[in-house]
Amino acid sequence: MKKLLFLTLVAGAIACSKSDPDNSVDADPAPNGEQSAPGKGQPGIVGISGIDAWDKLALTEKNKIKGWNVIFMHQSVGGDLEDGAEANGFKFEYFDLSTAPKGPSGNVFSASNGDPMGKMAEFKKNVLAHKANVKIAIFKFGYADINDTNKEHVKVAYKQLIDELRTQVSGIRFVHITPPLVYITSKDDGNAAKVNVAQWMKDTFKDRDVIYELEEIESNNGACKLGNVLRICDENRSTAACSSKNQGVDAAEGQGHLCEKAAARISKGFLMSIYNAGK
C-alpha cells in the first residue's frame, strides 16, 4: 500500500512539472555561449539612444548575442569597442581564416590604416572562409581610411562588397558602422568626408540592415564641432587623463581613439546593434 501511494505521488509530481510553466528551466539560449540561431533582426539606426536601450535589456536578452556567430574586423578604434564590450561582460573571441568564429569574434586587419580597399578584400575573404557558420558580419573603417579624394570610390566598393556577400552567404546579416571621427582643432582632417560616407551608409542600408551610428555617439549627437565639421568630443577621446586601454594617448590633433571609460559606455550601443541584427 505504501509503495502504491509513493508511486502515485511521484507520478503526480511529474505531471505538475510538465504543465506548470513556473517549474520550467530558464530559457536563456546561450548562458555559456552555446550556439543558437538569430531571429529575423530589426533593421535601423542605433545611436546614442542605443546605450540606454542596452542598459534596459534583461540579461537573458543580452546573453542571446553570446550564441550568435559574429565576425567583427577592424583596427584601433575597433579594439576600443572590443575592450568596452568586454568591460560590459561580452568578450570577443579571436578568429582568423582557419579559426572559425564561435559567438562574437573579432580580428584586426592586416591591411594598413589608409587602405580601405585592402581591408574590404580581406573582410570578404574571411567571411567567405566561414560562410557555413557566420551569422552576422561587421566591417569597420578606420579613421584614416576615408577622405575627400577617395570617398566616392569607397562607397562604390563597399556597396559591391555587401551585395556580393549577400549573394554568396545565405542568411547573413550586417551591422554597418559609421566611420570614426578624429579630434580636430585647426583643420577638417577628413571628418567631413567621413560624415558624408556615414549619411550614405544610412540612406543605403538602414531599411535592410543595422547601422551603428558611432559618429553620432562620438560627437554627442553633433554637439562637438570645428566650425560646421563634426569631431570626437573631449570626454570620449583618449587623453592622458583617460587613455585608451590598448591604444595609448592620442596626439593633440588628428586621432580618435576612445578613452577607456568612454569605450565602456559607447560599446553598449555597439552591443545593442548586434542584438538588433539578430533579435
Judge whether 268 lies within some domain. Answer: yes
Domain CATH code at residue 273? 3.40.50.1110
Judge whether 212 lies within some domain. Answer: yes
What pLDDT sits at residue 36? 78
Judge whether 245 lies within some domain. Answer: yes
Q: The domain containing residue 126 runs over which residues?
A: 40-278
Judge whether 28 lies within some domain. Answer: no
Judge whether 35 lies within some domain. Answer: no
Alpha helix stretches (DSSP H) within the chain? 2-19, 49-56, 59-62, 77-87, 116-129, 151-168, 191-205, 214-218, 260-278
What pLDDT sits at residue 243? 98
Q: Taken in order 225, 207, 73, 275, is the CA torsion positive or negative?
A: positive
Cell of 122: 580581406
Q: How far is CA 238 from CA 55, 226, 243, 255, 266, in A?
A: 24, 18, 4, 9, 13
Q: Is 139:107 a contact under the CB 8 Å cutoff?
A: no
- With cell 533582426, the residue in question is 41
Domain total of the chain: 1
Q: What's the rounded Cα separation, in Å, for the pair 163 and 260?
A: 35
Measured between alpha carbons, how far apart are the two ends of the chain, in Å?
54
> What is the pTM assigned to this prediction?
0.88
Judge whether 74 lies within some domain. Answer: yes
What pLDDT sits at residue 37? 86
Low-confidence ranges of the chain (pLDDT < 50): 1-33
Judge whether 31 lies within some domain. Answer: no
What pLDDT sits at residue 34? 59
Judge whether 194 lies within some domain. Answer: yes
